[in-house]
Each structure stands twice: as structure tokens, then as C-alpha cells.
Structure 1
């Protein structure tokens, strides 16, 4: 794996508060990497350190094999799109996109060509003469993206760029960003708190908590084998059962069945407490006692119309051994 950037033992402290705690992380070249986690986990601070807006308390930040820890932002060759798009309202779309090129003293003819190229890439060539206030939120986001791409950055950094869009536009822009990344071969680092966004867009995802990396890898690897309960819960796992020896097992709702005992794996009796109809399926909540003697609630995603369940009914909840995931403490 060729590395575009790297965190080497990086820590960031503000007084007594540690926001990033001794992380080592390699950003693969030509891939889209997401930094994922809840608010305050250190993902945005990590991005800002990579961009040069914040200096690490200790450790090194490498870009293209060179120590860039003390380099100012303008000398790192990075493009960045913020949560607020920061477009200049008095400039046209084309002028906004060309602003970074103008600062870098790119010749007018070349600047015009690269602006047109960037706008075509995001599908906004026809709006080059428009002002930002005339554009929709999704279009403004594309202009900000085109401005970052136009300078041909070593790395493209995206800080929660889709959070201001409505749900439909967010889904559209996920696909657009993936398309642009694939067509250009850019190395992209995206900060998000949305696990669906990270799973859909990432080549590699890095899940953080309290300034530390909990797990990293391809989305299918992380989702299919969460390292611990925090990772599992953050990625939407709902069912956790403690064994007699204190070990913890999780299983997803769609892998639980009702009314039949598994020959091997999980098989546990309980009482239905809730049934939520969702059109194509039903979420059935069952209260039971696990092997450690703890009362737990298990949620089964039932799609079989022949399986009936109602509150107060006694049922057996089962899952095959292949669907059970043993978690680290």
C-alpha cells in the first residue's frame, strides 16, 4: 500500500484535555478514507492537524513521505471542503472555483481551463456565471468541491461536507463524491459521524473514540467483525449477550429467527415485549435472561409473514453459530 499521508505517534492536548491520544495511521494513496466517530472523538482535530490548522502536541505528520508537521497549510498542497462551504457571495461560481488558482498565481488562460474542467467534473459548467446565493445547497456543495479539486491537491480533505444537506441530497452527493474520487484518483480523507455514509463511501474507514482508534479497515471487514462493543453499537448492532464466562457476543437483528432452536449457536427463550411493523418487515423485541443471569432485550428483524409474534407471547430466539460475533472486552 502506497501511503499518501501518515500520523506517527500523534497526540493533541488542550490543557489537561487530550483530544487525540498517540495515534498511528496511514492514509492510502488514491483511496477514500473516512474518519468516523461520535462528537468529541478526535476526528475533526485529526483532520485539522493533517491540514496544518492545528499543531500536534507531539508526534509527526508525514505527507508524501516528507515531515510536514510544522509546514503551514498553504505549503501542504491540500484541498479542503468545510461543513459550511465558505463561498464568496460577491464572486461568480467560476471566480470562486478559480480563487485558489489565482492565489497560486496560475496564468489566466490555464486558470480558466482548470476552472472549466473542475466545474464540468461536478456537473456545474452551465452555472459558471451564477452567484452562490442563486444556487441550492447541493449546488453550493459542488462548487466548494470544484474549488478544492481545481488546485489539484495532494490530498482532498472533507469535514462533514454533507451534514447541511437534506437526506435525499446527502445520498446523491455520496455517489457524486465517490464518482469524482474514482475518476480523478484523488486521495480523499472524509470526516463524518454518519456510519451509513462511511460504509457506503469508504475504501478504508477509521473508527475513533475518545481520541483513539478503535478499529480500521475496509468497511466490510469492520462491519463484519467489529472489534469491541463500542464499534458494534456504533455500526448498528443491537443485540448483546453475555456468556457464563463473561465473554460478550453480538448478533444482528436480521440474523435472529423466532420459533426454532438452532442446532448450534444461540438458542434462548424469552417473552415478546414489542412488535413494530415497518412494511417489508417487523422488528420484534424479546426480553430474556442470558447465561450470565443478566436481563437483556434482543431485537429480531422478521420478514417471514408466517411467523406471528405479539406482546406477551413466549418465543425461542435463535441464531446459527456462523452469525455470532465474539467481541473483545
Structure 2
């Protein structure tokens, strides 16, 4: 793996508050890396340290193999897109995209060529003479991307870039950013709290909590084999069952099948007797919430989500019904005792 950037023992503290603690992380060149986690986990602080807006309290940051720990932002050759887009309202789309090039004293003809090439890349060449206020949110986001890419940055940093868009535009922009990254070969670091966004867009996911990295890996690896309960919970695993040996089992709601007591099919893996607490129809699926006890006798809540087209005839459960919840062995994730 060729590293575009690397954090070695990086810590960032504010008085007694530790925002990032002993971070060791490599950003692979030409890939899209996502920093994922809840608010306050340290992901934005990590991005801003990489951008040069924050100097670490300890540790080293290298960019393209050179020490950049105390290098000012303008010396790092990084492109950045903020949550608010940060476009200049008095400038045209073309002038916004060309702003960084002008600062770098790129000749006018060459600057115009690069501006139009990057606007064409994001599909907005026809709006070059418009002002930002005349654009939709998605179009403004594309202009911000074009501006960041125009300077040919070593890395493109995206700080929650889709959070201000509606759901439909968010999905559309995920594909756009992935396409642009693929066509340009840029190294991209994306900060998000949205697990679907991270799973869809990432080459590498970095899940963070309280300033520490909980797990790093390809989306499919992290999703199917979460390292601990925090990662599993954050990625949508809702059923957690303690075992007598101190370990923990977890099963995703869509993998937990529910049958009336006495009618359950024979399956290897997990079998738990439960009582239905709530049964909710949602059109495409059916959610059954149950009360049960794990192997230690601790009361737990189980949730099963079943698609309507796979429901059995006995699936019209009512509160108070006795049922059996089951999962096959390969659908069960086993978490170690210290997680």
C-alpha cells in the first residue's frame, strides 16, 4: 500500500479534553477513505489536523512521505469541501472554481481551460456564468467539488459534504463523488456520521469513537465482522445476547426469523424463546419486537425485520404471543468478551 498521508501517534487535546488519542492511521493513495462515527468522536478534528487547520498536541502527520505536522494549510496542496460549501456569493461559478488557480498565479488562458474542464467533470459547464444563489444545493455542492479539484490537490478532504442536501440529492451525490474519484484517481478522505454513505462510497472505513479508532477495513469486512459492540451497534446490529462464557453474540434484525412456538423449523445456530411485544407492518417489511432472556438470564429486547414477500402464513403475530427467534450459524457475529 502506498500512503498518501499517515498519522503516527497523533493526539489532540484541549485542556483536559482529549479529542483524538494516539491515532495511527494510513490513508491509501488513490482510494476513498471514510472517517465514520457519531458527533464528538474525533473524525472532524482528524480531518482538520490533516488539512493543517489544527496542530496536533503530539505525534506526526506526513503527506506524500514528508513531515507536514506543522505545515500551514496553504503549503499542503489539499482540496477541501465544507458542509456549507463556502462559495463566494459575489463571484460567478467559473470564478469560484478558478479562485485557487488565480491565487497560484496560473495564466488566464490555462486557468480558463482548467475551470471549464473541471466544470465539465461535474456536469456544470453550462452554468459557468451563474452566481451561486441561482443554483440548487446539489449544484452548489458540485461547484465546491470542482473548485477543490481544480488545483490538482494531493488529497481531497470532504467534511460532511452531503448533510445539507435532501435524501434524494444525497444518494445522487454519493454516486457523483465516487464517479469523480474514480475518473480522477484522487485520494479522498470523507468525514460522515452516515453509515449508509460510508458503506456505499468507501474503499476503506475508519470507525471512530471518543477519539480512538475502533476498526479499520473494507466496508464489507467491517459490516459483516464488526470488531466490537460499538461498531456493531453503530452499523445497525440490534440484537445482543450475552453468553455464559462471557462472550457476546449479535444478529442483524433481517437475519432473525420468528416462528410461532412449536412451529419453528429446525436450524443450527441461535434459538431463543420470546414473547411478542409489538408487531408493525411497514409496507415492504414487517417488524416484530420481542422480549426474551439471554444465556445469562438477563432480560433483552430482540428485533426481527422480515420482508413481506417472505412472510409465512403464521406471521400475523400479536402482542403476548409466544414465539421462537432463530438465526443460522453464519448469520451470527461473535464478539469477544472484552468488547
TM-score normalised by length of structure 2: 0.96
Q: Which residue number in structure 1 is paired with residue 332 of structure 2?
A: 324
Structure 1 residues 283 and 103: alpha-carbon distance in aligned structure 2, compared to 1, 3 A threshold? same
Report how far residue 246 of structure 1 moved.
Answer: 2.0
What SS is found at the alignment partner of 2:327?
Answer: strand
Contact 1:138 1:173 in 2 (8 A): yes
Q: Which residue number in structure 2 is paired with residue 276 of structure 1?
A: 280
Q: Which residue number in structure 2 is paired with residue 164 of structure 1?
A: 164
Question: Is 1:121 aligned to 2:124, yes or no?
Answer: no
Q: How many residues align?
A: 329
Contact 2:89 2:131 in 1 (8 A): yes
Contact 2:19 2:211 in 1 (8 A): yes
306-315 vs 79-88, which moves further: 306-315
Structure 1 residues 261 and 244: alpha-carbon distance in aligned structure 2, compared to 1, 3 A threshold? farther
Contact 1:258 1:307 in 2 (8 A): no
CA distance in 2, matches of 1:81, 1:183: 18
Report how far residue 256 of structure 1 moved.
Answer: 1.1
Q: Which residue number in structure 1 is paired with residue 302 of structure 2?
A: 298
CA distance in 2, matches of 1:270, 1:241: 13
What SS is found at the alignment partner of 1:183?
Answer: helix
Q: Which residue number in structure 1 is paired with residue 268 of structure 2?
A: 264
Q: Which residue number in structure 2 is paired with residue 25 of structure 1?
A: 25
Contact 1:262 1:320 in 2 (8 A): no
Question: Is 1:11 aligned to 2:11, yes or no?
Answer: yes
Q: Which residue number in structure 2 is paired with residue 152 of structure 1?
A: 152
RMSD, aligned α-carbons: 0.9
1:259-315 residue CA offsets vs partner (Å, 9 max, x unmatched): 225442110111111111111210111111111111111111123332422211100
CA distance in 1, matches of 2:284, 2:196: 20
What SS is found at the alignment partner of 1:244?
Answer: coil
Q: Which residue number in structure 2 is paired with residue 77 of structure 1?
A: 77
1:250-261 to 2 correspondences below 5 Å: 250-259=250-259, 260=264
CA distance in 2, matches of 1:191, 1:248: 30
Contact 1:55 1:70 in 2 (8 A): yes
What SS is found at the alignment partner of 1:129?
Answer: coil
Q: Which residue number in structure 2 is paired with residue 95 of structure 1?
A: 95
CA distance in 1, matches of 2:266, 2:18: 46
TM-score normalised by length of structure 1: 0.98
CA distance in 1, matches of 2:40, 2:284: 36
1:32-70 residue CA offsets vs partner (Å, 9 max, x unmatched): 000000011000000000000000000000100111111
Report how far residue 187 of structure 1 moved.
Answer: 0.3
Contact 1:261 1:316 in 2 (8 A): no
CA distance in 2, matches of 1:214, 1:262: 36
CA distance in 1, matches of 2:218, 2:257: 28
CA distance in 2, matches of 1:102, 1:123: 22
Question: Is 1:314 aligned to 2:317, yes or no?
Answer: no
CA distance in 1, matches of 2:297, 2:266: 21
CA distance in 2, matches of 1:32, 1:183: 12
Q: Which residue number in structure 2 is paired with residue 285 of structure 1?
A: 289
1:173-229 residue CA offsets vs partner (Å, 9 max, x unmatched): 000000000000000000001011000100000000000000010000000000111
Report how far residue 254 of structure 1 moved.
Answer: 1.2
Which stretches in structure 2 are left out of the alignment for 5+ residues?
A: none
What SS is found at the alignment partner of 1:90?
Answer: coil
